[in-house]
């Protein structure tokens, strides 16, 4: 379990963190525009490192840690051809990832 946590921390820090969070953002946008549920699923996988490291298991930060589930829900609604829910569910995750990227760059790529 320690190896998995170390990998998640490594994928959420430095230039690698910017790349992984950026890929998640790009995949989210492409999945919504192209109506592709598999891209949204991959976006959820790429969002896991930054959301897991930044979140917690208590309080408000629990919503951040569980936010990849919003992306999986959006993938479900994309596959069911429900555009309202497919576009609304990724908005909080998109906002968090933009905040995460800005914070990471402002901290000089050292971490949040």
Q: Where are the domains of the chain?
A: 2-106
Residue with tokens 């994928």: 11
Nearest alpha carbon to residue 65 among 87, 50, 80: 50
Q: Is the per-residue pLDDT at 23 higher than 90? A: yes
Six token digits for residue 92: 């909080």
What confidence category does residue 58 fall into, taking pLDDT thresholds of 50, 70 and 90? confident
pTM: 0.89
The three-point CA angle 96-99-103 to 5° equals 140
Contact 34, 25 (CB under 8 A): no
| Average predicted confidence (pLDDT) for the chain | 91
Report, as an integer, the average pLDDT of 3-15. 89
Nearest alpha carbon to residue 74 among 16, 23, 24: 24
Q: Residue 98: which H helix or E strand, with range?
A: helix 90-106
Contact 90, 70 (CB under 8 A): yes
């Amino acid at each position: 379990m320690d190896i998995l946590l170390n990998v998640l921390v490594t994928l959420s820090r430095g230039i690698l963190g910017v790349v992984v969070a950026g890929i998640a953002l790009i995949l989210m946008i492409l999945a919504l525009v192209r109506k592709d549920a598999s891209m949204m699923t991959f976006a959820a996988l790429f969002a896991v490192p930054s959301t897991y490291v930044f979140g917690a298991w208590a309080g408000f930060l629990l919503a951040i840690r569980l936010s990849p589930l919003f992306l999986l829900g959006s993938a479900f609604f994309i596959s069911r051809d429900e555009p309202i829910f497919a576009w609304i569910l990724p908005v909080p995750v998109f906002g968090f990832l933009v905040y995460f990227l800005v914070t990471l760059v402002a901290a000089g790529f050292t971490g949040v």
